[in-house]
Amino acid sequence: MMYILLPFMAKKLWVAIRTDVNNLTFSMLYIIVSDPDVEVLVQWDQQTFLSLVASLFGAPLDVTSENFLSLFKGALYFGMEMVLLKCRTWLTDAVSASRTPLVQLNDLFSIWEFGSEIVNYLRELCTSYLAKNFIWAISCNSFVNAPHDLLLSTIKRPELTVDSEKQLCDALLAWVTANKEQCTEDVCVNLLKEIRMSLLPLWFTAGKNTRGSFLSTCCSDTFYGANFLLKQPSACCMDALADGDLLNLRIRLSEFTQRVDLSSCLQIKPAILLLSMLPLSDIFEPVLRKRVEKLLMNHEPRNRNAFRISWEICPKLTFEAVHEIDTSNCPMLHLEIAIECFSKSFPSLKTLKATNHLEFRTTKLFQLVKRCPLLCDVDLTVDVSPVIPTRVSVLSSFGSSGSGGSSLAASWSYISGPFPSNITKLTLEGRNDVTDFDLRSISDICVSLTYLSIKGCASVSDAAISSLICKCLKLTSIVACDTLFGQQSIIALCSPNASCDDVVEDTGKRSNLQMLHIGGCKGINVNSFSKLMCQAYLLKSLCLRESEGVDDGLFSFVGSSLEVLDVSNTKVSAGAVAHVISRNTGLKCLKARGCHNLLQQQSRNGGGNFQSKNLYSALGKCCRLDEVSVGWGFSYLNLEALKASVSLLKTIEVGLGGSLGQDGLKFLPVVCPSLESVALYFQVISDQLIMNLLDSLRNLKSFAMCHCLGEISSSSFSVSMPNLRKLRLERVAPWLNNDDLINLSQNCSNLIELSLLGCRHLNSESQKIISSGWPGLISIHLEECGEVTSNGVMSLFDCYALEDILLRHNGSGIQKGFIGDAVVKLPMLRKMSLDICDAKHKDFDIPEFDDRHFLSHVKIARCKLQRCSFDLQHVRAPRLPVHMETLVLAWDSKRLTRTLVKERV
């Protein structure tokens, strides 16, 4: 032991240094303070002590997240003011940095706990840092170790940055769950009461409000208020708000906010946007507060004048960092009004996601472009109509205009002429109200377009699509599935400067095309498509489902960058797919379900002898797959061949013609432990196999079994699956009764989508079990499920976040006015499928155009009675319902279209 008295220390400070005399290296340092009243033993590591000593002689001091606290403690103890200042400066700069966080989360917790005892400004810096970097913090595994006081003070700060209230709620619930053994109920309540319930998505709030759930228990009063808002969205409920409660309607926005996610929030309306953009001090100003409350109580979304006046006279904040907004599925938020907010308060807005807004007509896209000049990504997707001309036989169709409909030509007058736009990505999926004129106008405005999705836009012609392709020379990605995309568009892609009547010649050109999705498009010439594939060197994603001449195109394909290939329900051969795989080792997704010709050994295109087993062997050697969909010819041996390529597989679908067998189903969770979605069709399966599958795949979020055979009973689903979100059981669980349904709701408590087909033992009481077990459902499909609707439909209305309902052949007790009742009681409802067989009075009332709320599609099937073919000799043989036709009602921004089709859709 060697004792050294250092001259820079106090007289009473002795340093005991245990050294290795031979190597002259420090192994441990102890600081002993001798005083008549106190004795303190402080221990540091050698590197910290050496750094402090070296800094006295001018050596640079490198402060990092890992050594900050030990350096700070040492400098504080020895009274080294320069080191303390350097540490403080580093921490101040680190917490102010807008780049990747410089202070690791565990180090931050240690600094905060030390500061809470000695140095108060450390706590302030740590709290500010955590608030600004909260999104990063909740992604760290150590977030659940955050001290309660730090977490509580963080979420109260105005600079707290989260994408949405749901994101904050999920984080706090994760923390509470991890700390419920150490924390009292009061601690959890104080934390969870900071959540602004009125800003949570409807399905999320409904799902958390289950009996015994932790959030419901801790925040029962808050939940009561939220439920009142949710169940009565049109009621005048602002009178019940106290002065402080108005703050709970403000969206969390700070100068550091980059993304705002309001999707599926029923309560979001223009007045809440206005409230969120007012300075906090102005909210309590009586005149201003009264005006805001009046707008909040006004439930007419089209009252644009009142809102515009209020918006113009109110002081507003500007949030420069916001570049993305998601207002999808917000039925009370009129986007034409919301644009007024976005254009003034979010000047840097680049991405707008606004799916399922029927009232936002495509004509307003140009107004949006003018008001938000930096906008480059716009998503206006709506549900694709079930009436796809290439898939159904249309018997008749009739359209009637709704109130407020207008054409693009009528509203084009405010545009003085073509003006440049920064729009590079435009998604118009499902919008049948988009016409040829609209598409041509878009091509004039969006000259920088690189990505266009018009999937399901049945009203635009091949000529209009080809015209856009010729004008938008930067276009590299086209999603045109189930449209009239055809020969003219192929010609335009082969030669952007070519006329639509030109003959395409193989000139050795290279196309810039990176994505081409043309599944379901029937007007494509095989020769022209093959020539396009000869130029598609850069293609990354190709969808050819339900197309003709796929082999020719694939054998002509010259690219080596393909990541996604969809040839579902085509006549593709194993040789053609293998040809693509051999050149594209980066393939991540292969969809080949419904391809009968994969069984053939010989390809008619000169591919030689190439069996399907060789195809999967080649795939296993070359690629690393994320998603695979297979069918004919796929077996356990193929799964073994794919072993090396599916270790990180997330999604698998095995359809008709594929047979995993018992060995394959046992092997599946072993070789694919990361699976999140599994769909099995026509497989032979057993209870033990299902339990093994569900118990092993703990990340499973979606599970489907359809038309499977084997010894299956209620014990199959005795495994707890808290992560499962979607469940489909079709023709596999005829034994399912109410008791089984209760057990299922307990083991799969977090479902948001449920589909049951052929569960004949269910009855009207099953509705209550479903609504109480899964109140957060957004989709419910019940078909041929006993007598579920024999006494009408009442309990399902308690699942008030439902967006999609299918009720067919479950008992003839559904009231005539069911559709109108549903749109009132289920404010998020968009799609509905019914059958006349279930109508109590053999008919359903259809709501008026302006009364359908958020509803976009209604399908009503009709059956005819047909005598059983197995007993034709007897006059009284049982008569079974056989599908005859389907009436499809589709609302868009302009009209209601009634279409009668032959098929069941």
Residue 692 phi, psi (nearest 5): -65, -40
Instruction: Give the 3-state secondary structure of 740-791.
Output: HHHHHHHHCCCCCEEEEECCCCCCCHHHHHHHHHCCCCCEEEEECCCCCCCC
Mean pLDDT, the chain, integer: 82
CA distance 187 to 190: 5
CB neighbour class for 240 (10 Å; exposed up to 12, middle 13-18, buried from 19): exposed
Question: Is pLDDT of 402 > 70?
Answer: no
- Per residue in 6-25, pLDDT (tens digit) is 433 433 333 333 333 333 33
Question: Is pLDDT of 216 > 70?
Answer: no
Q: pLDDT: is 605 or 168 the higher one?
A: 168
Residue 88 phi, psi (nearest 5): -65, -40
- Per residue in 711-760, pLDDT (tens digit) is 889 888 999 999 999 999 999 999 999 999 999 999 999 999 999 999 99
| Helix ranges (DSSP H) in 298-331 | 304-313
Q: pLDDT: is 609 or 553 the higher one?
A: 553
Residue 1 and residue 16 in contact, taking contact as beta carbons nearer than 8 Å = yes
CA distance 716 to 700: 15
Question: Is pLDDT of 589 > 70?
Answer: yes
Across residues 761-766, what is the average pLDDT?
A: 96
Confidence (pLDDT) at 124 = 87
- Per residue in 438-455, pLDDT (tens digit) is 899 899 888 899 999 999
For residue 490, which of 535, 423, 546 has the smallest C-alpha distance?
A: 535
CA distance 705 to 507: 49
Angle between helices 462-471 and 436-445 (to 10 degrees): 0
Residue 160, token pair as written in the block: 């707290």
Residue 538 and residue 561 in contact, taking contact as beta carbons nearer than 8 Å = yes
Question: Is pLDDT of 265 > 60?
Answer: yes
Question: Is pLDDT of 788 > 90?
Answer: yes
Across residues 367-388, what is the average pLDDT?
A: 90
Q: What angle do CA 250, 138, 70 make, to 5 degrees?
A: 120
CA distance 492 to 509: 13
Across residues 851-856, what is the average pLDDT?
A: 86
Residue 563, token pair as written in the block: 């990541």
Query: Helix (H, G, I), strand (E, B), or coil: what is residue 364?
Result: helix
Q: Tell me the range of 95-109, 182-196, 636-650 where mean pLDDT is highest.
A: 636-650
CA distance 754 to 741: 11
What share of the chain has pLDDT > 70, as a percent?
Answer: 80
Question: Is pLDDT of 221 > 80?
Answer: no
Query: For residues 798-816, b (16+ Cβ closer than 10 Å) or e, as one string?
Result: bbbbbbbbbbbbbbbbbbe
Return the biggest CA–CA distance within the chain: 117
Distant-in-sequence contacts of 571-574, Cβ < 8 A, 24+ apart: 571/595, 571/596, 571/597, 572/544, 572/597, 572/598, 573/597, 573/598, 573/600, 573/603, 573/604, 573/605, 573/607, 573/610, 574/598, 574/600, 574/603, 574/607, 574/610, 574/611, 574/612, 574/614, 574/615, 574/633
Across residues 581-595, what is the average pLDDT?
A: 94
Confidence (pLDDT) at 16 = 34
Confidence of residue 45 (pLDDT cuts 50, 70, 90): low
Question: Is pLDDT of 586 > 70?
Answer: yes
Q: pLDDT: is 414 or 173 the higher one?
A: 173
Across residues 764-793, what is the average pLDDT?
A: 96
Confidence of residue 657 (pLDDT cuts 50, 70, 90): very high
Q: Which residue has the tokens 């439909």?
A: 793
Q: pLDDT: is 843 or 366 the higher one?
A: 843
- Per residue in 274-314, pLDDT (tens digit) is 888 888 877 777 777 777 777 776 655 555 666 666 666 67
Query: For residues 462-492, b (16+ Cβ closer than 10 Å) or e, as one string?
Result: bbbbbbbbbbbeebbbbbbbbbbbbbbbbbb
Residue 781, token pair as written in the block: 């499909």
| Helix ranges (DSSP H) in 483-604 | 487-494, 526-533, 550-556, 574-583
Among 99-108, 493-502, 661-670, 694-703, the range scoring the smallest mean pLDDT is 493-502
H or E element in which residue 127 lies: helix 120-132
Across residues 165-169, what is the average pLDDT?
A: 95
Among 39-43, 553-557, 589-593, the range scoring the smallest mean pLDDT is 39-43
Confidence (pLDDT) at 750 = 93
Query: Helix (H, G, I), strand (E, B), or coil: what is residue 84?
Result: helix
Question: Is pLDDT of 893 > 80?
Answer: no
Residue 730 and residue 708 in contact, taking contact as beta carbons nearer than 8 Å = no
Question: Is pLDDT of 61 > 90?
Answer: no
Q: What angle do CA 83, 88, 92 make, to 5 degrees?
A: 150
Confidence of residue 490 (pLDDT cuts 50, 70, 90): very high
CA distance 858 to 755: 18
Confidence (pLDDT) at 487 = 94
- Per residue in 69-114, pLDDT (tens digit) is 777 777 777 777 788 888 888 888 887 766 667 888 888 898 888 8
Across residues 583-604, what is the average pLDDT?
A: 84
Q: pLDDT: is 327 or 81 the higher one?
A: 327
Distant-in-sequence contacts of 234-239, Cβ < 8 A, 24+ apart: 234/299, 236/297, 236/299, 238/293, 238/296, 238/297, 239/297
